[in-house]
Amino acid sequence: MSYNRYVAICKPLHYGTLLGSNACVHMEAAAWGTVFLTALLHTANTFSLPLCQGNALDQFFCEIPQILKLSCSHSYLRELGLLVISACLAFVCFVLIVVSCVEIFRAVLRNPSEQGRIKVFSTCLPHLAVVSLFIITGIFAYLKPPSISSPSLDLVVSFLYSVVPPRSKPALPLVARMVFGSALALALVAADDCTSADSACNLVSERGADPRSASRFPGRHSDV
């Protein structure tokens, strides 16, 4: 999605070449293949862990860090390695998304159209906010040290990365459009006021410079 917006805004003339049907199929296949392989490895390693502390989790779903707490063998280190690799991949994707958004903002700020800026900002900023919330809280939930772990903290962090992003993503663009639309309306009103004030000042200066305007106000002319 971020690459699509980057090409559409920064390289619109090359959109058909960079994002043709073959490119879209390859990117989609790579994304689905990576997710499926990661999920398969995590599932296989999790089910192979021996549990020696029961099977009750202090969580509302089967989260991998909570399952690792019930393991009593050193085989969980293999799962920790997979978690680190997954977190690194997620962080790389996050960096690429941030870079694409920065390039989009740089291209949009060079555009004099205020409506175009509002449209791009109201689309990209909510997406970046949701992705940031998901990546940061997800990495913290899976890689946080055991010393700061607590049932309440684990529950809050899991709720933030698993429930909030999918629920807030449809609503954030609407809120952003309303906020940026109000800001655009205020900017246009301020610009109209400034234009009207400049026109009035120009009219007054022209009348003061015109000799015929001075004859219309003899009292003022005699005072001067």
Beta-ladder partners of 51: 71
Answer yes or no: is 47 within a domain.
yes
- Residue 187 neighbours by CB distance under 10 Å: 12
- Residue 144's Cβ-count burial label (10 Å; 0-12, 13-18, 19+) is middle
Q: Would 107 be classed as within a structural domain?
A: yes
Residue range 174-197: average pLDDT?
Answer: 54
State pLDDT tens for residues 22-67: 888 888 898 899 889 888 888 888 888 887 777 777 777 777 888 8
Q: Which domain holds residue 174?
A: 2-209
Instruction: Give the model confidence (pLDDT) of 77-98 as tens digits.
Output: 787 888 888 888 888 888 988 8
How many CB atoms are located within 10 Å of the residue 66 CB? Answer: 18
- What total number of domains does the chain contain? 1
Does residue 217 belong to any structural domain of this protein? no
The pLDDT of residue 192 is above 70 = no
Banded model confidence at residue 123, pLDDT cuts 50, 70, 90: confident
Q: What is the mean pLDDT of the chain?
A: 75
Residue 148 lies in a domain: yes
- Asked if residue 218 is part of any domain, the answer here is no
What's the rounded Cα separation, in Å, for the pair 5 and 2?
A: 5
- Judge whether 216 lies within some domain: no
Q: Is residue 140 part of a domain?
A: yes
Tell me whether residue 224 is in a domain: no
Taking residues 186-192, report their average pLDDT: 55
